[in-house]
Amino acid sequence: MFSQLQFPLVFSGYVNVYEEAYSKCSASFSCGNFTDIGYPFWRNDQPDYCGHPGFKLDCQGDRVTIDINSQKYDIIKINYEAQFLKIAKADFMLNICLVSFINSTLDFNLFEYTFSDQNASLLYYCDHLTEDHQPRLQEFTCPINNRHSNCYFTAPAISSNDEFSSRCKISLLIPVLAFAVEGFTIYSWSIDQVIKEGFE
């Protein structure tokens, strides 16, 4: 008899806690310019049980970012039906000179590249190279201690033991969209255009 009286009280409390948790997580939400976002995504202002740990979104005005392998990426597009994200490395979106010099890598337990992607190279602090060295090499400069340093972008990527890479202090591998590389090689897209298109 005693246990029968206690059970409904415990159960009722459990239901109330469950309903409260469910109400905080069940509704779709907006983040930046995106609407109707739901599981596995969750917002940085929601409890961490509302989504998968690897899909936490940081909503900052119109900007939406996600952390992948301790690197921040801007989300450009979310396609639920095809189950892909279009993202770009956040520091590149601001300035390709002000970057953390780390190769872009995905958490392959959660994500994989699509067939729309290919790798490109960003080469920093290089000896001066000419287009004779590489037909798709495009030079840009970055200010270092009030001096301009020679830097280069090339797609497709070059290997780390390539002659050009060896003449630069830093060589980064970044994923980009193949159609953006086509825009770069055929239609003279800028480096910024290619990088800000992101990758899938």
| pLDDT at 148 (0 to 100) | 83
The pLDDT of residue 194: 93
What per-residue confidence (pLDDT) applies to 1?
A: 38
Sequence ranges of the domains in the chain = 96-102+114-199
Distant-in-sequence, close-in-space partners of 195: CB < 8 Å, separation ≥ 6: 88, 89, 92, 93, 96, 174, 176
- Nearest partner of 85 among 42, 63, 114, 108, judged by Cα: 114
Residue 17 has what pLDDT? 43
d(CA 133, CA 116): 27
Cα 151 to Cα 98, 178, 179, distances in angstroms: 13, 22, 23
Q: Tell me, what's the pLDDT at 193?
A: 93
Beta bridge pairs of residue 170: 124
pTM: 0.81
Rounded Cα–Cα distance for residues 72 and 186 (Å): 30
Q: pLDDT truncated to tens, each residue of the chain (200 aa)?
A: 343 434 343 444 444 444 555 566 767 889 999 999 988 898 888 888 888 889 999 998 999 999 999 899 999 999 988 889 999 999 888 888 877 677 777 888 899 999 999 999 998 888 776 655 555 678 888 887 677 888 889 888 887 777 777 788 888 889 999 999 998 888 888 999 999 999 99
**What's the token pair of residue 111?**
């994500």
Nearest partner of 172 among 151, 198, 141, judged by Cα: 151
